[in-house]
């Protein structure tokens, strides 16, 4: 892995926005488009808002970017906890992204059908070629989960690069998630974590015992480039 540690949250957020625009631009230069997997939760909101403003807004041909989601809560599309809804409000709508460029998980279906249909959407977009996203953005939960790969979940052992549905007892809800093999096929994978509340999880994943059932983010081992970890000093305090 590659560690990028910054003294405070503000510096980190700007550095991560710059990283995203750089990787997105490089993908467009390689293939004429970028397939970008967005992350949900609270951590990326400031990054998304920053990307809609200069200089980051002007650094990318956003019309050449296709947006996907690493996971989704099984809640209605307009629910405040819906990851796609958050991304629309903070990033996609302000950038003027066309709906045809955004691949959302249809939570009006059953959880299993939502996962199945999303896998089909991804396959059609990549025209049945091996799926390799250009950049996957990930967060890290206090319990060391990432995407919706939660401690003790059987989806951690999934060996197929696909999309899975699972019930998360601690959250009392269903989730839909990209599996680790699908994430690991990406050209670039990055984590964002900041604040002292993340310090223990960061330590457990990076330096703790190797047990992905306990620390699911350990299962993220990209095939093409080491994962980029963007941390502020408080989150990296135990390393």
How many CB atoms are closer than 10 A to CB 127? Answer: 6
- CATH of the domain spanning 2-232: 3.40.50.1360
| Residue 164 confidence (pLDDT) above 90 | yes
Task: Tell me the pLDDT tens digit for each residue of 98-113.
Answer: 999 999 999 999 999 9
| Residue 59 confidence (pLDDT) above 90 | yes
The C-alpha atoms of residue 218 and residue 207 are separated, in whole angstroms, by: 10
For residues 42-59, average pLDDT: 96
What pLDDT sits at residue 97?
98
Burial class of residue 95 in the structure, from the number of CB atoms within 10 Å of its CB (0-12 exposed, 13-18 middle, 19+ buried): middle
Q: Which two three-digit tokens encode residue 168?
A: 């998360």
For residues 209-215, average pLDDT: 98
| Residue 196 confidence (pLDDT) above 80 | yes
The C-alpha atoms of residue 33 and residue 62 are separated, in whole angstroms, by: 9
Please enumerate in sequence order all residues whose Cβ is within 8 A of that of 237, keeping only pairs 6 or more positions apart, or say none: 196, 199
What pLDDT sits at residue 171?
84
What pLDDT sits at residue 114?
98
Residue 193 or residue 79, greater confidence: 193
Please give the distance of CA 227 from its chain centroid, rounded to a whole number. Answer: 12
| Residue 220 confidence (pLDDT) above 90 | yes
For residues 175-204, average pLDDT: 98
Tell me the percentage of the chain whose pLDDT exceeds 90: 95
What pLDDT sits at residue 130?
86
Listed by start position, the domains of the chain span 2-232
The C-alpha atoms of residue 9 and residue 167 are separated, in whole angstroms, by: 32
Task: Tell me the pLDDT tens digit for each residue of 92-101.
Answer: 999 999 999 9
């Amino acid at each position: 892995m590659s560690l990028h540690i910054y003294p405070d949250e503000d510096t980190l957020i700007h550095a991560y926005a710059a990283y995203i625009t750089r990787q997105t631009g490089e993908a467009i230069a390689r293939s004429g488009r970028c397939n970008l997997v967005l992350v949900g939760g609270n951590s990326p909101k400031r990054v998304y808002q920053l990307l809609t403003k200069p200089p980051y807004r002007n650094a990318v041909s956003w019309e050449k970017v296709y947006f996907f989601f690493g996971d989704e809560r099984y809640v209605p599309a307009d629910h405040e906890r819906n990851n796609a809804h958050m991304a629309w409000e903070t990033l996609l709508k302000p950038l003027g992204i066309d709906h045809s460029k955004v691949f959302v998980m249809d939570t009006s279906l059953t959880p299993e059908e939502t996962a199945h249909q999303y896998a089909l959407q991804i396959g059609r977009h990549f025209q049945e070629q091996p799926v390799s996203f250009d950049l996957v953005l990930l967060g890290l939960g206090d319990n060391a989960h990432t995407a919706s790969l939660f401690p003790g979940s059987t989806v951690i052992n999934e060996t197929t690069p696909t999309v899975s549905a699972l019930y998360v007892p601690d959250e009392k809800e269903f989730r839909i998630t990209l599996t680790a093999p699908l994430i690991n096929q990406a050209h670039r994978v990055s984590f964002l974590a900041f604040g002292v509340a993340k310090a223990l999880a960061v330590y457990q994943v990076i330096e703790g015992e190797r047990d992905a059932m306990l620390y699911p983010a350990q299962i993220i081992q990209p095939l093409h480039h080491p994962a980029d970890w963007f941390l502020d000093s408080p989150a990296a305090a135990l390393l």
